[in-house]
Chains A and B, each alone.
Chain A
Amino acid sequence: MKKAAAGPLAAVLLAGFFQGGGTASIPFPVPDSDPAALIPAAGEVPGWTPRGEAQRFDGEDLYVYIDGGAEIFNEYGFRRVIAQDFENPGGAGIALEIYEMTDPAAAFGIYSFQRSGQGQAAGLGTEGEIEDYYLRFWKGPYLAVVTGYDPHGRDPGRLMEGVIAVARAVDARIQESGGRPAFVEALPPDWMEPGLKYLRGVLGLNNLVRLFPRDVLRFREAAAVPIEGGWLFVCGYRDAAEAESRLAGVREAMSAREGGYGEFQAFPDGRLEAADSRGNRIVVRAAGDKIGLVVSPRAAAVAEALLERLR
């Protein structure tokens, strides 16, 4: 298997990262291995036996596996998924899904999109987290999701032990590595946790907040940072000129009440403010090659301090 960041290719990748917005444009090497090799073999996880054959779906065929839910994976950059169920003698099951994304940034992105921010550290993969009944981690270009299910609900503790054991076995088999997107790493460290989401398109954005009925922000990549009662969005652009252009679009949309905004105000320093129908204030401003946007009932009070940190 190839390592993600090795040799000249790594230098090219890193150069792309620091150009801003370049994480999606440099192809990540396709792993040599068959993803089926990442699935624990029979007997590898005591007490759990593979049930049936593994299912594999490549590229556009993701729609076959997740009809109605494939778009968000495609937005981040999807290559293929392999899924295998396991069962124990008590009738409980474990669903293992390993999504191979186009690059580590895509894997981190879909991981961050799906996580609740309430999980417990699992010590597996990169940023592995245990949630109520499942475990999720990313590593290199992979997102691994291990879900326990038991129709009888007889022994949830034992079920989670199995979930962790399967996840540990997968973690050990993945040799690739890779870091978070440079765009995310450049943000203030205290914005990282918990629950920061890395976005690559408007579908991810709209799942958090529907700002406009069309794609007005048109960012290249973005981060959503949970704040009290809402979100801080940091949208990345090619350069300051593009950010200013997009801000003009936001101003035009808000002033036209797209998205149902009221109380629109444009201030001499470039700051935009409006109110939505759910009681939120929205504050927007550009900062270099980024646009910062705060959505919260308390946005007017907290936005300036947050957006100042983008400068």
Chain B
Amino acid sequence: MARKIGRREFIRSGAALGAAVVVGGKLFGKWTGNPPSGESGPSVFVVKGTDSAAMTAKAVELAGGLGAYVPKGAKVALLPNVQSRHPGTFTKPEILRAVLRMCRQAEAAEIACLSWLGPTNWDGTGLARVIEEEGAALRLIPREDENFKSVPIPGAVALPEARIMNALFEYDLWINMPITKDHAGNKFTGTMKNLMGLNAPSSNRAQFHKPNWTTDPADIAHLEYCIVDLNFAVRPAFNIVDATEIIRTNGPMGPGELIKPGRIVAGVDRVAVDAYCATLLGFQGAEITAIKHASERKLGEIDLRKAGVLEVEI
């Protein structure tokens, strides 16, 4: 159940699955509280199977149902990963379709996918067709800087301000929908890195990637710190991660070696969700700089025993 009050943030609280939702605070601002921990029930919800749509629906159900995150009448933005049309590199269309339908069932007033990537990406992945078939909107934001808004990040380590697309601020909340996969620099992408899809490409290029990039490990660390900073600038109401079929090599673009964990991973806590997803690629969360750094900065729980993981197979 949910109730909508004036401002725009949705903080999940309560004791167990399907817990009540308290609405308050603001969507854009510094993270001020910890996500629900394993002490009050699991915070990472994993469904294993072969039917991606059913798995997605089940994962959301385990987390309390989408209505716990999307109040009736809300304007909802979605952020699937659509970087490449190579298999195992983008959020699967059937997962997006499932989320669009759940948003409708939650009686969202408006649903749109936001992206500064071009139509080629959306057409090639099949995501554009799903959006059209489900009656949602696809808003392709021009890459020019005037379409992005400065969001200061107090306490930033490497990125003093984000440049978030203006269009995002038209929505009450947004749902993060990455695919987890390999990355040539930091070996992992998941919920936290997907936020670069909201940040201005000029900022991603000039601020996240140091000038005169030397591929030195220190430069990779800088990228990771920027990713964590960005996650303090904006935060999703919920995360749904495609871990069904993913690339283990040659990320993030591919093509590369496909592995099939056959999982949908969901939750509010980006650090916990990413720590779980890292294990699917053969890493402990602490081995990935961004996850470790985000944990140290109290963005979320890196210890999966503390976070609590609920795994179900259908």
Contact = CB atoms under 8 A, between A and B. Distances in A.
Contact of B216 (A51, A93, A132, A215): A215
A72 interface: yes
Interface stretch (A120-128, A200-208, A248-256): A200-208
B204 interface: yes
A66 to B, nearest CB: 5
Contact of B249 (A116, A145, A147, A206): A116
Contact of B204 (A67, A116, A207): A67
A203 B184 contact: yes
B216 A202 contact: yes
Contact of B86 (A64, A67, A95): A95
A59 to B, nearest CB: 12
Given A95-B85, A203-B185, A215-B216, A134 B255 contact: yes
Nearest to A74: B213
Interface residues of A, number: 37
Interface string A75-117: 1000000000100000001010000000000000000001010
Nearest to A218: B216
A268 interface: no
Nearest to B258: A132
B85 A149 contact: yes
Contacts of A149: 85-87, 124
Contact of A206 (B204, B209, B217): B217
B185 A68 contact: yes
Interface string B205-221: 10001000111111010
A63 interface: yes
Contacts of A158: none
Contacts of A63: 201, 204-205, 209
A151 interface: yes
A50 to B, nearest CB: 12
B124 A85 contact: yes
A71 interface: yes
A133 interface: yes
> Which 6 A-B pairs have CB atoms at the shortest separation, nearest pair first?
A203-B215, A134-B255, A72-B184, A69-B253, A147-B255, A151-B126
Interface of B: 83-87, 93, 120, 123-124, 126, 143, 183-185, 187, 189, 193, 196, 201, 204-205, 209, 213-218, 220, 249-258
Given A55-B120, A95-B124, 10 more contacts: A67-B204, A67-B205, A68-B189, A69-B183, A72-B184, A95-B85, A95-B86, A116-B256, A133-B258, A202-B216
